[in-house]
Amino acid sequence: MVAIYDFLATYLRARFGESERGASLVEYALLVALIAVVCIAAVTLLGKNAGSKFDKVGNSIA
């Protein structure tokens, strides 16, 4: 993941100049993307556990 970030940052700096504003934008975009991936993974893992718990409670009530 870090290698991809370094490659993208280098490419975008070479293409659009050495502006710190552009570099900051890329860093924030990558940070938001990483947070989204972690959130999706967490919801996926916890969702399966929660689903099985709800099924267990539903079966015990019925």
What 3-state DSSP class applies to 62? Answer: coil
Q: Where are the domains of the chain?
A: 2-61
Helix axes 20-61, 2-16, angle to 10 degrees: 140
Task: Give residue 20's pLDDT.
Answer: 61
CB of 55 closer than 8 Å to CB of 41: no
Tens of pLDDT, residue by residue, the chain (62 residues): 677 777 777 777 777 666 566 567 888 889 999 999 999 988 888 877 778 888 888 888 87
CB of 42 closer than 8 Å to CB of 24: no
Task: Give residue 35's pLDDT.
Answer: 95
Contacts of 16 (CB under 8 A, 6+ apart): 22
